[in-house]
Amino acid sequence: MKVIDRKDEMRSWSRSVRAEGKRIGFVPTMGALHEGHLSLVRKSLEDNDCTVVSIYVNPTQFGPGEDLERYPRDLEGDIAKLGELGVDCVFTPCDEEMYPAGFVTYVVQERLTEVLCGASRPGHFRGVLTIVLKLFNVVEPDNAYFGRKDYQQSVIVKRMVKDLDLPVRIHVMPVVREADGLAMSSRNAYLSPEERALAPCLYKALLRGREMIRNGCTDVDAVEEAMKKMLESQPGVRVDYVNVVHPETLQRVEQAVPPVVIAGAVYIGAARLIDNVVVEG
């Protein structure tokens, strides 16, 4: 497995592979890899001749006071996991490589980035879209794989690809969960054992909302209130948002009629956890 930390080397590797007529799959990550990440990698290995995984904790998607410095890092362990799976290339650039001195150009997307996580993390999606576009430009993949765990991210990336005519196909894969329902996340490492025991409450609340909608409740306020109440009844849990939204526009729907997505974010201790469920039409 090749480990590359320079953009020019990454691009020439990709180009030489493509010159052989091979299709490239790409999985962008921030590392501290878990089964959620690895599910994307396995899918890429299945679909493509070559798979590139990037590991880069992107500073521009963290706000002031967020967890950039303490974000979990385990480059050696990550590389071992990817090697075992049969990944062809790992791209591990440094900040100077991705954001050289004088960097001032960003991707800003309207509307879709202003709701849900975008409302509580201003600038977050500007950082996400900027790094994803840069990585696409360096790796030049045919296919790229994202998790539905970050539902809003998957929607805005697909929108950017469409709006900017990027020559890559986006694939969105299901949420991988722990046995008790908690969505796997590198940030789960922040949870103390007591907080970890509480953490499945977010998924449970989302399932409750989905059940209400499936049972015919169309009152969005009632569904959101019920989920909020469930979460707020747990000491140590602070709700950021729980919203019933349109699957593509991400705007809050007027009536909870499927297809809709229920997305939520909560603070538990030092962790901000997000999750979502789709209510199919």
- Residue 275 in the binding site for ligand AMP (CB under 6 A): no
Q: Which of 116, 183, 245, 279 binds ligand AMP (CB under 6 A)?
A: 183
Q: Which is nearer to ligand AMP, 14 or 39 (CB)?
A: 39
Calpha distance 257→244 (Å, rounded): 10
Span interacting with ligand AMP, options 13-21, 33-41, 129-137, 160-168, rule CB under 6 A: 33-41
Q: How many residues bind ligand AMP (CB under 6 A)?
A: 17
Q: Which of 37, 42, 43, 124 binds ligand AMP (CB under 6 A)?
A: 37
Binders of ligand AMP among residues 184 to 203 (CB under 6 A) are: 184-186
CB-nearest residue to ligand AMP: 147
Q: How far is the CB of 39 from ligand AMP (least distance, A)?
A: 6
Calpha distance 230→225 (Å, rounded): 9
Binders of ligand AMP among residues 77 to 116 (CB under 6 A) are: none
Span interacting with ligand AMP, options 9-17, 34-42, 129-137, 191-199, rule CB under 6 A: 34-42
Q: Which is nearer to ligand AMP, 203 or 256 (CB)?
A: 203
Q: How far is the CB of 36 from ligand AMP (least distance, A)?
A: 2
Length of the chain as a residue count: 281
Output the 3-class SS for the chain.
CEEECCHHHHHHHHHHHHHCCCCEEEEEECCCCCHHHHHHHHHHHHHCCEEEEEECCCHHHCCCCCCCCCCCCCHHHHHHHHHHHCCCEEECCCHHHHCCCCCCCCCCCCCCCCCCHHHHCCCHHHHHHHHHHHHHHHHCCCEEEEEHHHHHHHHHHHHHHHHCCCCCEEEEECCCECCCCCECCHHHHHCCHHHHHHCCHHHHHHHHHHHHHHCCCCEHHHHHHHHHHHHHCCCCEEEEEEEEECCCCCCECCECCCCEEEEEEEEECCEEEEEEEEECC
Q: Which is nearer to ligand AMP, 171 or 228 (CB)?
A: 171
Q: How far is the CB of 233 from ligand AMP (least distance, A)?
A: 25
> What single-letter amino acid sits at 24?
I
- Residue 147 in the binding site for ligand AMP (CB under 6 A): yes
Cβ contact 183:176 at 8 Å: yes
Q: Which two tokens stand for residue 188?
A: 């789960």
Q: How far is the CB of 43 from ligand AMP (least distance, A)?
A: 10
Q: How far is the CB of 150 from ligand AMP (least distance, A)?
A: 4
Catalytic residues: 37
- Residue 149 in the binding site for ligand AMP (CB under 6 A): yes
Q: How far is the CB of 176 from ligand AMP (least distance, A)?
A: 4
List residues binding ligand AMP (CB under 6 A): 29-30, 36-37, 39-40, 146-147, 149-150, 173, 175-176, 183-186
